[in-house]
A and B are shown apart, each in its own frame.
Chain A
Amino acid sequence: MRRVLTSFALLKFFVRTPKGAARLTRRAPLLLIAALAAACGGSNSSTTSNPPASAASAPRRGGAIVASVRTDPKSFNRFMNSDVSSDLVAELTHARLVRINKLTWDVEPWLAESWTESADHLRYTLKLRSGVSFSDGHPFTSDDVLFTFAALYDPKSADVSALAEAMMINGKPLTVEAPDAQTVVITFPEPFAAGVRLLDNMPVLPKHKLDSAVKAGTFAKAWGLTTPPADIAGLGPFMLKEYVPGQRTVFERNPHYWRKAANGDSLPYLDRITVDTIPDQNAEELRLESGQLDLISGEVPAEMYAGARRAAAAGKIAIADLGMDRKADGFWFNLRPEAFKNDPRAAWIKRDEFRRAISMAVDRKAFADTVYFGAAEPVFGPVTPAVKRWYWTGTPQIPYDPDGAKKLLASIGAARARFQIMTQPGRPRFQRAVSVIADQLKAIGVQADIVNMEGLSVVQKILSGDYESVYFAPSTTDIDPAVSPDFWFSRGNVHFWNPNQKTPATEWEKQIDDLMAKQGRTFDMAERKRLFDEVQRVFVEHQPILYFAAQRFNVSSSTRLVNVKPALHWTPILWNADELAVR
Chain B
Amino acid sequence: MRAYLFRRLAFALFLIVAVSSASLILARLAPGDYADTLGEQMKPEQRAAYRHAHGLDRPILSQYASWIAHAARFDFGESLKYGRPVRDVIPEHAKNTAILAVTALALATLAGIGLGVVTGSSRGGFAAQVIRSLSLVLLSMPPLLTSLFLVFLAARTGWLPIAGMRSSQVEGSPLVDLLRHLIVPAAAIALPLAAMFERLQSQAMRDVMGRPFVVATLARGVPWPRVVWRDALRVALAPVASVYGLVVGTLLGGSFAVEVITAWPGLGRLMLEALQSRDVYLVVGCAGAGATFLAIGTLCSDLALAWVDPRVRE
Question: If the complex has contacts A4-B144, A274-B169, A280-B260, are A456 and B36 also in contact, measured as CB distance less than 8 A?
Answer: yes
1/0 per residue, CB under 8 A from B, across A28-70: the answer is: 0000000110000000000000000000000000001010000
Cβ 8 A contact of B162, one of A36, A162, A287 = A287
Contacts of B40 in A (CB 8 A): 36, 459, 462-463, 493-494
Question: A74 an interface residue at 8 Å Cβ cutoff?
Answer: yes
Question: B87 an interface residue at 8 Å Cβ cutoff?
Answer: no
Interface size class of B (residues with CB under 8 A): 35 or more
Cβ 8 A contact of B41, one of A160, A247, A453, A486 = A486
In the complex, are the beta carbons of B155 and A278 less than 8 A apart? no
Complex interface: stretch among B78-86, B126-134, B293-301, B306-314 = B78-86
B191 smallest CB distance to A (angstroms): 17
In the complex, are the beta carbons of A279 and B260 less than 8 A apart? yes
A277 to B263, CA, bound (A): 7
In the complex, are the beta carbons of A286 and B152 less than 8 A apart? yes
In the complex, are the beta carbons of A35 and B43 less than 8 A apart? no
In the complex, are the beta carbons of B53 and A493 less than 8 A apart? no
Question: B231 an interface residue at 8 Å Cβ cutoff?
Answer: no
In the complex, are the beta carbons of B163 and A287 less than 8 A apart? yes
Question: If the complex has contacts A290-B162, A456-B32, A459-B32, are A245 and B42 also in contact, measured as CB distance less than 8 A?
Answer: no
In chain A between 479 and 499, which residues have their CB closer than 8 angstroms to a CB of chain B?
A: 486, 493-494
Identify which of A247, A279, A286, A486 gathers the most chain B CB atoms within 10 Å of its CB: A279
In chain B between 8 and 42, which residues have their CB closer than 8 angstroms to a CB of chain A?
A: 30-33, 36-42
Question: A511 an interface residue at 8 Å Cβ cutoff?
Answer: no
B89 smallest CB distance to A (angstroms): 7
Contacts of B148 in A (CB 8 A): 4-5, 8, 282
A66 to B169, CA, bound (A): 9
A570 smallest CB distance to B (angstroms): 13
In chain A between 303 and 362, which residues have their CB closer than 8 angstroms to a CB of chain B?
A: none
In chain A between 252 and 305, which residues have their CB closer than 8 angstroms to a CB of chain B?
A: 274, 276-280, 282-284, 286-287, 289-292
1/0 per residue, CB under 8 A from A, across B148-177: the answer is: 100110110010011111101100000000
Contacts of A287 in B (CB 8 A): 155, 162-163
Question: If the complex has contacts A160-B50, A493-B40, are A283 and B151 also in contact, measured as CB distance less than 8 A?
Answer: yes
In chain A between 62 and 90, which residues have their CB closer than 8 angstroms to a CB of chain B?
A: 64, 66, 71-72, 74-75, 82-83
A486 to B269, CA, bound (A): 35
Contacts of A500 in B (CB 8 A): 43-44
Question: If the complex has contacts A1-B257, A493-B42, are A290 and B155 also in contact, measured as CB distance less than 8 A?
Answer: yes
Cβ 8 A contact of A280, one of B43, B49, B263 = B263
Question: If the complex has contacts A1-B144, A66-B168, A245-B82, are A456 and B38 also in contact, measured as CB distance less than 8 A?
Answer: no
Question: If the complex has contacts A280-B263, A282-B151, are A461 and B162 also in contact, measured as CB distance less than 8 A?
Answer: no
Complex interface: stretch among A176-184, A218-226, A384-392 = A218-226
A153 to B96, CA, bound (A): 41
B238 smallest CB distance to A (angstroms): 35
In chain B between 258 and 288, which residues have their CB closer than 8 angstroms to a CB of chain A?
A: 260-263, 265-266, 269-270, 273, 276-278
In the complex, are the beta carbons of A279 and B152 less than 8 A apart? no
In the complex, are the beta carbons of B162 and A274 less than 8 A apart? no
In the complex, are the beta carbons of B92 and A35 less than 8 A apart? no
Question: A139 an interface residue at 8 Å Cβ cutoff?
Answer: no
A154 to B49, CA, bound (A): 15
CB nearest neighbor in B for A15: B152
Contacts of B277 in A (CB 8 A): 456
Question: B46 an interface residue at 8 Å Cβ cutoff?
Answer: yes
In the complex, are the beta carbons of B169 and A247 less than 8 A apart? no
A159 to B40, CA, bound (A): 14
Question: B64 an interface residue at 8 Å Cβ cutoff?
Answer: no
Cβ 8 A contact of B273, one of A1, A71, A160, A454 = A71
Contacts of A455 in B (CB 8 A): 276
Contacts of B269 in A (CB 8 A): 246, 279
Question: A248 an interface residue at 8 Å Cβ cutoff?
Answer: yes
Contacts of A5 in B (CB 8 A): 148, 261
A383 to B84, CA, bound (A): 41
Cβ 8 A contact of B165, one of A12, A74, A83, A247 = A247
Contacts of B81 in A (CB 8 A): 74
In the complex, are the beta carbons of B168 and A279 less than 8 A apart? no
Cβ 8 A contact of A12, one of B42, B152, B270, B276 = B152
Question: A460 an interface residue at 8 Å Cβ cutoff?
Answer: yes
CB nearest neighbor in B for A272: B169
Question: B199 an interface residue at 8 Å Cβ cutoff?
Answer: no
A366 to B162, CA, bound (A): 36
In the complex, are the beta carbons of B278 and A456 less than 8 A apart? yes
A294 to B269, CA, bound (A): 24
In the complex, are the beta carbons of B256 and A82 less than 8 A apart? no
Question: A477 an interface residue at 8 Å Cβ cutoff?
Answer: yes
In the complex, are the beta carbons of A457 and B265 less than 8 A apart? no
In the complex, are the beta carbons of A292 and B162 less than 8 A apart? yes
Question: B68 an interface residue at 8 Å Cβ cutoff?
Answer: no
In the complex, are the beta carbons of A276 and B263 less than 8 A apart? yes
Contacts of A450 in B (CB 8 A): none
In the complex, are the beta carbons of A246 and B83 less than 8 A apart? no
In the complex, are the beta carbons of A493 and B43 less than 8 A apart? yes
Question: B98 an interface residue at 8 Å Cβ cutoff?
Answer: no
Can you list 28 contacts pairing A with B, beta carbon distance less than 8 Å? Answer: A36-B39, A36-B41, A66-B168, A162-B39, A166-B41, A245-B89, A245-B93, A246-B92, A247-B164, A278-B263, A279-B263, A280-B260, A280-B263, A282-B148, A284-B163, A286-B152, A286-B154, A286-B155, A286-B163, A287-B155, A290-B154, A455-B276, A457-B31, A457-B32, A460-B36, A463-B40, A493-B43, A500-B43
